[in-house]
Amino acid sequence: MIVNTVKFGEIEVEDSRIFSFVLPIIGFNDSSKFIILDPNKDTLFKWLQSVEDPSLAFPIISVASLDYDYSVDLSDSVINDLEITNAESLLVMNITSIPQDNPRGTTINLLAPLIFNLDNQKAGQIVLSGSGYDISHPMFKKD
Protein backbone atom coordinates (compact mmCIF):
# COMPACT_ATOMS: atom_id res chain seq x y z
CA MET A 1 0.00 0.00 0.00
CA ILE A 2 1.21 3.52 -0.80
CA VAL A 3 0.64 6.06 1.98
CA ASN A 4 0.80 9.75 1.10
CA THR A 5 2.23 11.98 3.79
CA VAL A 6 2.86 15.70 3.94
CA LYS A 7 5.98 15.29 6.07
CA PHE A 8 7.62 12.25 4.43
CA GLY A 9 6.18 12.08 0.89
CA GLU A 10 4.92 8.78 -0.50
CA ILE A 11 5.76 5.73 1.58
CA GLU A 12 5.17 2.11 0.68
CA VAL A 13 4.01 0.06 3.68
CA GLU A 14 2.86 -3.48 4.20
CA ASP A 15 -0.74 -3.87 5.37
CA SER A 16 0.59 -5.71 8.44
CA ARG A 17 2.17 -2.44 9.66
CA ILE A 18 -1.15 -0.56 9.73
CA PHE A 19 -2.72 -0.20 13.16
CA SER A 20 -6.48 0.10 13.53
CA PHE A 21 -7.36 2.49 16.35
CA VAL A 22 -10.42 0.86 17.87
CA LEU A 23 -10.08 3.37 20.71
CA PRO A 24 -9.63 6.64 18.78
CA ILE A 25 -7.03 9.27 19.40
CA ILE A 26 -8.77 12.00 21.39
CA GLY A 27 -10.07 14.68 19.04
CA PHE A 28 -9.34 12.63 15.91
CA ASN A 29 -12.27 10.21 15.71
CA ASP A 30 -12.32 10.36 11.90
CA SER A 31 -8.84 8.84 11.59
CA SER A 32 -8.53 5.24 12.63
CA LYS A 33 -5.69 3.81 10.51
CA PHE A 34 -2.10 4.71 11.42
CA ILE A 35 1.44 3.51 10.87
CA ILE A 36 4.52 4.07 13.00
CA LEU A 37 7.37 5.62 11.05
CA ASP A 38 10.98 5.66 12.20
CA PRO A 39 12.66 7.94 9.65
CA ASN A 40 15.67 8.78 11.83
CA LYS A 41 17.09 5.76 13.65
CA ASP A 42 19.39 8.05 15.68
CA THR A 43 16.57 9.62 17.70
CA LEU A 44 14.12 8.35 20.31
CA PHE A 45 11.24 9.95 18.41
CA LYS A 46 9.05 8.14 15.91
CA TRP A 47 6.02 9.40 14.00
CA LEU A 48 2.45 8.13 14.13
CA GLN A 49 1.20 8.82 10.61
CA SER A 50 -2.43 8.65 9.56
CA VAL A 51 -3.05 6.45 6.53
CA GLU A 52 -6.27 8.38 5.79
CA ASP A 53 -5.07 11.98 6.22
CA PRO A 54 -1.65 12.86 4.73
CA SER A 55 -1.35 15.94 6.95
CA LEU A 56 -2.01 14.12 10.25
CA ALA A 57 1.14 12.89 12.02
CA PHE A 58 2.11 12.90 15.68
CA PRO A 59 5.65 12.77 17.09
CA ILE A 60 5.67 9.90 19.59
CA ILE A 61 8.15 8.41 22.02
CA SER A 62 8.41 5.33 24.21
CA VAL A 63 8.65 6.57 27.79
CA ALA A 64 10.28 3.22 28.61
CA SER A 65 13.38 4.55 26.81
CA LEU A 66 13.56 7.44 29.28
CA ASP A 67 14.35 7.40 32.98
CA TYR A 68 10.77 8.02 34.13
CA ASP A 69 8.77 6.37 36.87
CA TYR A 70 5.78 5.53 34.67
CA SER A 71 3.29 2.69 34.69
CA VAL A 72 0.13 2.01 32.74
CA ASP A 73 -2.72 -0.02 34.19
CA LEU A 74 -5.23 -1.21 31.62
CA SER A 75 -8.88 -1.67 32.47
CA ASP A 76 -10.74 -4.83 31.54
CA SER A 77 -12.65 -2.91 28.87
CA VAL A 78 -9.40 -1.76 27.21
CA ILE A 79 -8.03 -5.30 27.36
CA ASN A 80 -11.23 -6.53 25.70
CA ASP A 81 -11.37 -3.75 23.08
CA LEU A 82 -7.75 -4.31 22.03
CA GLU A 83 -8.12 -8.10 22.42
CA ILE A 84 -4.98 -8.28 24.55
CA THR A 85 -3.91 -11.81 25.48
CA ASN A 86 -0.19 -11.27 25.97
CA ALA A 87 1.40 -8.32 27.81
CA GLU A 88 4.71 -8.89 25.98
CA SER A 89 2.96 -7.98 22.71
CA LEU A 90 2.10 -4.48 23.87
CA LEU A 91 3.85 -1.31 22.81
CA VAL A 92 3.17 1.83 24.84
CA MET A 93 3.97 5.17 23.19
CA ASN A 94 3.19 8.74 24.15
CA ILE A 95 2.43 11.74 21.97
CA THR A 96 4.88 14.59 22.31
CA SER A 97 4.64 18.27 21.54
CA ILE A 98 7.84 19.73 20.12
CA PRO A 99 7.94 23.53 19.78
CA GLN A 100 9.73 24.42 16.53
CA ASP A 101 11.42 27.44 18.08
CA ASN A 102 12.47 25.62 21.27
CA PRO A 103 12.95 21.82 21.06
CA ARG A 104 14.09 21.80 24.70
CA GLY A 105 10.52 22.81 25.54
CA THR A 106 9.25 19.41 24.35
CA THR A 107 6.47 17.92 26.46
CA ILE A 108 5.10 14.40 26.69
CA ASN A 109 1.46 13.46 27.20
CA LEU A 110 1.77 10.97 30.06
CA LEU A 111 -1.94 11.13 30.90
CA ALA A 112 -3.16 9.58 27.65
CA PRO A 113 -0.75 6.95 26.28
CA LEU A 114 -1.16 5.09 23.02
CA ILE A 115 -1.44 1.31 23.42
CA PHE A 116 -0.51 -0.94 20.48
CA ASN A 117 -1.29 -4.65 20.37
CA LEU A 118 1.43 -6.04 18.10
CA ASP A 119 -0.36 -9.40 17.83
CA ASN A 120 -3.44 -8.09 16.01
CA GLN A 121 -2.54 -4.51 14.97
CA LYS A 122 -5.27 -3.00 17.18
CA ALA A 123 -4.49 0.19 19.05
CA GLY A 124 -6.03 2.94 21.07
CA GLN A 125 -5.47 5.99 23.19
CA ILE A 126 -6.53 5.67 26.80
CA VAL A 127 -6.78 8.18 29.64
CA LEU A 128 -5.17 7.21 32.93
CA SER A 129 -7.80 8.89 35.12
CA GLY A 130 -6.71 9.52 38.67
CA SER A 131 -3.08 8.70 37.88
CA GLY A 132 -1.71 12.16 38.59
CA TYR A 133 0.08 12.13 35.23
CA ASP A 134 0.19 15.33 33.20
CA ILE A 135 -0.86 15.98 29.62
CA SER A 136 2.24 18.13 29.07
CA HIS A 137 5.07 16.73 31.18
CA PRO A 138 8.39 18.47 30.38
CA MET A 139 10.80 16.07 28.66
CA PHE A 140 13.88 18.05 29.68
CA LYS A 141 14.75 19.43 33.08
CA LYS A 142 14.93 23.21 33.19
CA ASP A 143 18.46 24.54 33.60
| Residue pLDDT, tens place only, 50-60 | 999 999 999 99
pLDDT of residue 143: 59
In the predicted structure, residue 95 carries a pLDDT above the cut 90: yes
| Residue pLDDT, tens place only, 10-64 | 999 999 999 999 999 999 999 999 999 998 888 889 999 999 999 999 999 999 8
| Strand 122-125 with 107-108, pairing | unpaired
1 three-state secondary structure? coil
Say which residues have a Cβ less than 8 Å from residue 80's Cβ, sequence separation at least 6. Answer: none
pTM over 0.85: yes
Question: How much is the mean pLDDT over the chain?
Answer: 94
Residue 123: pLDDT band with limits 50, 70, 90: very high
Secondary structure (DSSP) of 46-86: EEEEESS-TT-EEEEE-GGGTT-----PPPHHHHHHTT---
Q: Side chain identity at 27, as an amino acid letter?
A: G
pLDDT of residue 140: 86
Q: How far apart are the first and last CA of the chain?
A: 46
Catalogue all structural domains in the chain, each as residue range(s) with its CATH number.
2-138 (2.30.290.10)
Distance, in Å, from the CA atom of 88 to the CA atom of 13, rounded to the nearest integer, reads: 24
Kindly state the percentage of the chain with pLDDT values over 70: 99
